[in-house]
Amino acid sequence: MVVAAAMLSLLRPLLATCVCLLLLPGCQGRILGYTNGFHYQDISNGNGHGEIYFNGIRLHVESPQSSVSATRGSTVTLPCHYHYEPELTTPRKTRVKWSWLPANTMTPQVSTETFLKETEVMVAMGSRHRSYGSFRGRVRLRRSAPGDMSLVINELQVNDTGRYRCEVIDGLEDDSVTVDLELRGVVFPYYSQKGRYHYNFFRAQKECQDQDATLATFEQLFTAWEEGLDWCNAGWLADGTVQYPITIPRDGCGGKNLAPGLRSYGQRDRVLHRYDAFCFAASVKGTVYFLENTTNLNFTDAIQACASDGSQIAKVGQLYAAWKLMGLDHCDAGWLADGSVRYPITKARANCGPSQPDQ
């Protein structure tokens, strides 16, 4: 019997003045008595209209990592540093804003519309800071050295994945960099006990959540395919597309002549169309273990036995996470919370299912 021993856990806007210079036709403009350390050069283009060119100190925002991966419930740091070239002789007040684009809204090509979907995570200026939404109380700036504006996220949640933007503004200019946050976990297909293709998009979302998981993203399914996942039934992903991974081309799964890869049906109607689901489970907060019993148990008995042992019956996502991330291996089958019976195998052997590790 499979059991999960649960461990319960629980702007102000920056105001700046703007100095504008209006060049009159035929005039050679100069900036007199203005000593901010920058050099402005007015160049006439020959037709009586001046152009302003800016040369001087530049703000640079950088990250040594374009992506970071971590496990659910852990503390993760998204690196972000800024500096000036050449270095400043007098410090400037800076405002830092971290924003977030959830994984299920990320698109291959960044557009203006994409930026509008970014959600504020944290804003800081000097010693003052404010966090927002589900990140409230869970984020802070590391500030381990001058220019370090790395974001520290505590109690990492499944839905925290996506693209984070670190933007630094000093009143004269701004620059930003993005860092992708990924969760280490496992993708697994999930379908109704009535058979395949019974879930619309919203039902698929709920089914994954009920198994302590979320709908997988395209990137998560692609990684699972690279690691060998092969499944011929199509399932919903977090972006509303329907796809399935094939490592061995064959008839009935797109045909033998198609190359291995993700087969895609594209965007489908989220209410009307019915498919299976590809769920993503991250690490379990607790321990998944088998409760030995001298007699065979039915489903109701199994639930009671787990409760009597001070635990609760494990969910499908929890078993997958324990198998993938913690190496759980047990050849005896046990009940799970959805009424299915499964067992995890990391070392394939006789009398324990197929020749390939799975569960």
Instruction: Assess whether pLDDT exceeds 80 at residue 25.
Output: no
Task: Quick: pLDDT tens for 168-205.
Answer: 998 878 999 999 998 889 999 999 999 999 999 999 99
Task: Quick: pLDDT tens for 129-148.
Answer: 999 999 999 999 999 999 99
Residue 6 lies in a domain: no
**Number of structural domains the chain divides into:** 3
Verify that 235 and 310 share a domain, yes or no: no
pLDDT range class, residue 89, cuts 50, 70, 90: confident
Residue 124 lies in a domain: yes
Instruction: Assess whether pLDDT exceeds 90 at residue 49.
Output: no
Verify that 171 and 190 share a domain, yes or no: no
- Angle value at C-alpha 224, between 222 and 226, nearest 5 degrees: 70
Three-state secondary structure string covering the chain: CEEEEECCCCCCCCCCCCCCCCCCCCCCCCCCCCCCCCEEEEEECCCCCEEEEEECCEEEEECCCCEEEECCCCCEEECCEEEEECCCCCCCCCEEEEEEEEHHHCCCCCCHHHHHCCEEEEEEECCEEEECHHHCCCEEECCCCCCECCEEECCCCHHHCEEEEEEEECCCCEEEEEEEEEECEEEEEECECCECCCECHHHHHHHHHHCCCEECCHHHHHHHHHCCCCCCCCEECCCCEEEEEECCCCCCCCCCCCCCEEEEEEECCCCCCCEEEEEEEECCCEEEEECCCCCCCCHHHHHHHHHHCCCEECCHHHHHHHHHHHCCCCCCCEECCCCCEECCECCCCCCCCCCCCEC
Verify that 291 and 324 share a domain, yes or no: yes
Verify that 62 and 169 share a domain, yes or no: yes
pLDDT range class, residue 41, cuts 50, 70, 90: very low
Residue 67 lies in a domain: yes
Residue 51 lies in a domain: no
- How much of the chain, in percent, has pLDDT values that exceed 90? 62
Residue 52 lies in a domain: no
pLDDT range class, residue 56, cuts 50, 70, 90: confident
What CATH number has the domain bearing residue 324?
3.10.100.10
Task: Quick: pLDDT tens for 203-252.
Answer: 999 999 999 999 999 989 999 999 999 999 999 999 999 999 999 999 99
User: Pick from 279, 299, 332: which residue ends a domain?
Assistant: 279
Which residue range(s) make up the domain with 340?
Answer: 283-358
pLDDT range class, residue 286, cuts 50, 70, 90: confident
User: In 3D, which of 345, 335, 282 has the Cα closest to residue 313?
Assistant: 335
Residue 32 lies in a domain: no
Please compute the mean of the pLDDT values over residues 103-113 and round it to a whole number: 53
pLDDT range class, residue 117, cuts 50, 70, 90: confident
Verify that 93 and 77 share a domain, yes or no: yes
pLDDT of residue 116: 55
Question: How confident is the prediction for the chain on average, in pLDDT?
Answer: 82
Q: The pTM is what?
A: 0.65
Verify that 253 and 342 share a domain, yes or no: no
Please compute the mean of the pLDDT values over residues 258-282 and round it to a whole number: 96
pLDDT of residue 212: 92
Verify that 90 and 136 share a domain, yes or no: yes
User: Pick from 218, 244, 279: which residue ends a domain?
Assistant: 279
pLDDT of residue 269: 97
Verify that 251 and 337 share a domain, yes or no: no
pLDDT of residue 314: 96
Verify that 331 and 346 share a domain, yes or no: yes
In contact, 302 and 342? CB cutoff 8 Å: no
What CATH number has the domain bearing residue 141?
2.60.40.10
Verify that 269 and 330 share a domain, yes or no: no
pLDDT range class, residue 40, cuts 50, 70, 90: very low
pLDDT of residue 83: 93
Verify that 174 and 82 share a domain, yes or no: yes
Verify that 215 and 172 share a domain, yes or no: no
